[in-house]
Chain A
Amino acid sequence: DIQMTQSPSSLSASVGDRVTITCQASEDINNYLNWYQQKPGKAPELLIYDASNLETGVPPRFSGSGSGTDFIFAISNLQPEDSATYYCQQFDNLPLTFGGGTKVEI
């Protein structure tokens, strides 16, 4: 199985800050990577697909980059409503696997 290592596991930042989360795959996954946001008690929501594409309706302050084994997710101009846990997920190979999550506190 492909292991997805996310870091940091948590971070605290202020409104207006830019934060970044990294996700490293245990093998080359091309650009077959998605990023999700999950708020407490809610289902995850797809933010970024295929490593760098913004899902419809998602604010452009969210972005993703990377290919191969190393990926970055960024939130610029952090807003209070961005407080959530973020997960990367690969789909290059079955089983689909998720990173451990990054809890972002504002």
Chain B
Amino acid sequence: QVQLAQSGAEVKKPGASVKVSCKASGYRFTTYGFSWVRQAPGQGLEWMGWISAKNGNTKYVEKLQGRVTMTTDTSTTTVYMELRSLRSDDTAVYYCARHSKTGISATNYYFYGMNVWGQGTTVTVSS
């Protein structure tokens, strides 16, 4: 069956980097794009960015530009999210999610519903 399996919990010091993995299985990997969504303790959902598994194109939320990098490895059907210069407010559960489809127009990208999710990875940033 279609699954996204994420790497385990991480504890990092402020200023460090973290790299979370998300291994996809059960379907043709390059067909769909992925988003990363995070959730701080007791808070709502925050979209971080998107990556195409077909060609590696990315779209990041402006507030994380320069600190986040999303990559894919088609040989292992794995998506990665690296976040650098960690701060205490980066403490959150990080989810990868697969979009049902992607639409691209001349002026916009349309990332349709996220219908498959990983189990989440807790990242704690503390000195």
Contacts and interface: CB of A to CB of B under 8 A. Distances in A.
Given A43-B120, A96-B111, A49 B100 contact: yes
Interface stretch (A18-26, A66-74, A75-83, A87-95): A87-95
Contacts of A55: 113, 115
Given A45-B117, A46-B115, A96 B47 contact: yes
A85 to B, nearest CB: 8
Interface residues of A, number: 24
B108 interface: yes
A34 B44 CA distance: 15
Interface residues of B, number: 25
B111 A91 contact: yes
Q: Is the interface of A mostly helix, strand, loop or mixed?
A: loop
A89 B59 contact: no
A49 B117 CA distance: 15
B25 to A, nearest CB: 16
Contact of A94 (B45, B100, B109, B120): B109
A16 B92 CA distance: 35
Given A44-B114, A49-B100, A98 B47 contact: yes
B119 A89 contact: no
Interface string B32-52: 000101000000111100100
Interface of B: 35, 37, 44-47, 50, 59, 61-62, 95, 97, 100, 108-115, 117-120
Given A34-B113, A91-B110, A96-B47, 11 more contacts: A32-B110, A36-B114, A44-B45, A46-B100, A46-B114, A49-B113, A50-B112, A94-B108, A95-B47, A95-B61, A99-B44
